[in-house]
């Protein structure tokens, strides 16, 4: 499956976790919307989630993850594993074409339809993960910026700008959400 059409990036540094996503929606080679909101809060505002892939499919996954978070409050990893099990085994969910990047105060994860629940590798100064067509560009930039004297939000914004300059499916209209790990 070819995942393209957006960039979602998470950076964790200095007591903050930030997820940013661009706003471009593409249909083939045409930009059909430039300011979509692909990053949002779920789980009573305690979890940030971003998606890459088909919009309707992503909204279905947001709803399912929100329900799992109600079932397993304060247990993001468990809720994600349970969602991944359903996603992998349910005949309807298996057809959904989206990926999710989710984070709370302690945990950041990527979820895929193949049952993957992946945690970022910590690097010097923090951690970062990304999904979508421009994800590798944004991730490389974030990893280079993590050791520098920048906030997690600055890292996300600068890295997303770099991805938007390189990936034709990524634009500079950002939605950025932050969780303070110490709150």
**Which residues belong to the active site?**
6
Please state the φ and ψ torsions of residue 107, each to the nearest 5 degrees: -130, 145
Contacting residues for 143 by C-beta, under 8 A, at least 6 apart: 123, 128
142: DSSP letter: H
Burial state string for 38-64 with b = 16 or more CB within 10 A and e = fewer than 16 = bbbebbeeebbbbbbbeeebbebbbeb
């Amino acid at each position: 499956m070819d995942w393209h059409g957006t960039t979602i990036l998470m950076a964790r540094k200095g007591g903050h976790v930030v997820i940013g996503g661009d706003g471009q929606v593409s249909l083939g080679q045409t930009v059909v919307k430039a300011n979509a909101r692909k990053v949002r809060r779920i789980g009573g505002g305690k979890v940030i989630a971003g998606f890459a892939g088909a919009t309707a499919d992503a909204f279905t996954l947001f709803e399912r993850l929100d329900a799992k978070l109600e079932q397993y409050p304060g247990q993001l990893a468990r809720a994600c594993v349970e969602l991944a099990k359903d996603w992998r085994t349910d005949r309807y969910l298996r057809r959904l074409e989206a990926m999710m990047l989710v984070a709370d105060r302690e945990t950041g994860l990527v979820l895929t339809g193949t049952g993957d629940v992946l945690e970022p590798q910590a690097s010097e100064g923090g951690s970062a993960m990304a999904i979508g067509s421009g994800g590798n560009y944004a991730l490389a930039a974030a990893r280079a910026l993590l050791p520098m004297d920048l906030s997690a939000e600055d890292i996300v914004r600068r890295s997303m700008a770099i991805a938007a300059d390189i990936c034709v499916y990524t634009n500079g209209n950002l939605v950025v959400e932050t969780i303070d790990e110490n709150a």
